[in-house]
Amino acid sequence: MSNDQKRVILLEDEELIRSMIQINFEREGFLVTAYETGEELLQDKHLAQTDIFVLDLMLPGISGQEVTRRLRDLGIQRPILMVTAKDDMEACVTNLDKGVDDYLVKPFDMKELVARVHVLLRRDTNWKCPVFEMDV
Amino acid sequence: MLQRFFRHLKKKSHHFFFLCVLACLVLVTGWWTLFIKKMIEQSYDQQIRYAYKQAEVLTLQLKLAQVPVMPGLVPGHKDFEIIAQVESTRQVGPRFSVQPTMDYLVSLEQERNKRTAMVFGEGSLLGLSVLVSCFMLYQLIRLEKRAKEELYEFWNRVTHEIKTPITGIRAFLETLKRGTLSGDDLNYMVDLALKQVERQQQLTQNILVGRQLEKGLKQQQMESLEIVGFIKNYIHSHNLQLARIETEVDPGSLPPETIVHADPNSVHTILDNLVDNAIKYGPANLRLQFSFEIEDQKVHVRVKDNGPGFPPELADHLFDAYRRLAGELPEGKHGTGMGLHICRSLARHMGGEMTASSEGTGTGATFTVILKQEVMQP
């Protein structure tokens, strides 16, 4: 893995969608680790080294929303893009409130998904941790 | 925080509303009861005063009449009695007075007590009926709210079930167009895409049948079906879908060529749903056993799987419309929750029935479709 290669964790229970996203992401030069369930994802030893998470909302076992909460509880502040079939405003606002950075409704255009991932990564790279100086 | 509180209050507004209505009605009932009680007290006081006035009038009348009187009841007035007075030097004329009898006073008091008890009884009954009516209305609204929520959840699941295969197929076609797929990968992805198409087809069929059943528009073409052969044909023609499933058809004690009176399309839809559920919830080494039995001119078709099963007490709830047993069944499996409801409705439309049984979680499940046997005339 080169230093510039971005690591993406993908969580999607539908095999066809998961495979297609993985193929397209790999074509973009990302290093993709794909999981079918949230439980498997949370077992990953390299969560902290991941650059972006792409999660499905409705999943077997724990939901994408719960995975987001647990990732944030673990102190992982990397961008999370939620992919879901739910397109109502309330669900969207709830997810954004719970720590999701972006939201894409199914069925989506693969190019749009890739573009959004690039935007989130760019924004994340430009972000600098604020430093507070104080006199002791 | 405040916003969350108001959002919560809005969600639970019907509880608050009913509490207010109930409190108002109880207050009104209480006030009304006390008001009537006060009226009864006033009426009793008036009756007592009237009795003593009447006694005074009778005393005067008797004195004016200047007839000799003896202590005892006033002639013609059973509620009043003549009482002799102690002799007084100042008093002129006959020394007596008329008073209401003790029995009359007691009867007035008893009447007052009786009316008070009646008012309290009626008030309590009214209060109770208000409480019961409110509770029933509350339950009705709660059920309606729950039904609305279930319907909302149902359409959420339907949306998910429609959008997911479309997303997969679209992603597949886009990737295919970019020329990224080839060889074995391509074949494997085509198979996956075909499965998504089948899933979409099954869902569309269920929605259409569900709507027709709901509106009473479902037309069934009843035919004579040789049931064992029909099921064997079904398994054979669905080879692709059943490829990873071990199937066994055991006619048991069923006489050869047993005929049932049923609609082939409906039986087909029932089997589609049962097989789809078995695949969805079952293990990788899924086994389906079809067995048959005749009871009272009804053919019982049993489909037993080695899936996760379910707690026996949930057997009937599996067939509830628009409902999936969240938390009670294997989690996270997608689906609309209408499949089994449609199966039972179709079976009933054919004059049959459908039941489910399981000895508990982890023991597999048996679904029984009961169909009318067609008895051949000799």
**Neighboring chain A residues of B333 at a CB cutoff of 8 Å:** 60
Q: How far apart are the first and last CA of chain B?
A: 79
Statement to judge: residues B29 and B129 lie in one domain? yes
Is B187 an 8 Å CB contact of chain A? no
- Which ipTM was obtained for this model? 0.82
What is the extent of the structural domain holding B29?
Answer: 11-147
Domains in chain A: boundaries? 7-125
Question: How confident is the model over B310-331, as pLDDT tens digits?
Answer: 888 888 888 887 666 544 444 4
Statement to judge: residues B160 and B249 lie in one domain? no
Question: Residue B328: what pLDDT?
Answer: 46
Vertex B322, ends B321 and B324: CA angle to 5°?
100
Statement to judge: residues B126 and B244 lie in one domain? no
pLDDT-based confidence at residue A132 (cuts at 50, 70, 90): low
Residue B27 maps to a domain: yes
CATH assignment at residue B179: 1.10.287
Statement to judge: residues B242 and B317 lie in one domain? yes
Question: How confident is the model over B276-289, as pLDDT tens digits?
Answer: 888 888 887 888 99
Chain B nearest-CA residue for A19: B189
Question: Residue B323: what pLDDT?
Answer: 61
Contact (CB, 8 A) for B359 and B245: no
Looking at per-residue pLDDT, the higher value among B239 and B119 belongs to B119
- Our measurement of the distance from residue B206's CA atom to the centroid of its chain's CA atoms, rounded to an integer in Å, reads 25
Question: How confident is the model over B104-158, as pLDDT tens digits?
Answer: 999 999 999 999 999 888 888 888 888 888 888 888 888 898 888 888 878 887 8
Model confidence, pTM: 0.64
Sequence-distant (6+) residues with CB within 8 A of B19 are: none
Question: How confident is the model over B68-113, as pLDDT tens digits?
Answer: 778 888 888 888 988 887 655 555 566 788 889 999 999 999 999 9
Does B164 sit within 8 Å of A61, measured CB to CB? no
Statement to judge: residues B231 and B364 lie in one domain? yes
Residue B299 maps to a domain: yes
Interface residue of B164, B177, B334 to substitute, partner A, most A CBs within 10 Å? B164
**Neighboring chain B residues of A21 at a CB cutoff of 8 Å:** 171
Question: Residue B354: what pLDDT?
Answer: 94
The Cα B340–Cα B338 span in angstroms is 6
Statement to judge: residues B93 and B37 lie in one domain? yes
Does A59 sit within 8 Å of B332, measured CB to CB? yes
Chain A nearest-CA residue for B326: A61
Give chain B's mean pLDDT: 84
Residue B31 maps to a domain: yes
Residue A76: which of A110, A109, A101, A96 has the closest Cα? A101
Interface residue of A10, A12, A13, A17 to substitute, partner B, most B CBs within 10 Å? A17
Q: To the nearest whole angstrom, how far is the Cα of A105 from the nearest Cα of chain B?
A: 9
SS3 category, B184: helix
Residue B6 maps to a domain: no
Statement to judge: residues B258 and B193 lie in one domain? no
SS3 category, B329: coil
Residue B245 maps to a domain: yes
Residue B1 maps to a domain: no
- Name the CATH superfamily housing domain A7-125: Response regulator (3.40.50.2300)
- Side-chain-facing half-sphere of B179: CA atoms under 13 Å: 0
**Neighboring chain A residues of B166 at a CB cutoff of 8 Å:** 106-107
Question: How confident is the model over B244-255, as pLDDT tens digits?
Answer: 788 888 888 888
Residue B220: which of B266, B288, B257 has the closest Cα? B266
What is the number of domains present in chain B? 3
Statement to judge: residues B133 and B163 lie in one domain? no
Q: Which of B186, B215, B244 is the endpoint of a domain?
A: B215
Residue B135 maps to a domain: yes
Residue B296 maps to a domain: yes
Q: Is the peptide bond before B312 cis (omega within 30 degrees of 0)?
A: no
Statement to judge: residues B307 and B209 lie in one domain? no
Statement to judge: residues B30 and B60 lie in one domain? yes
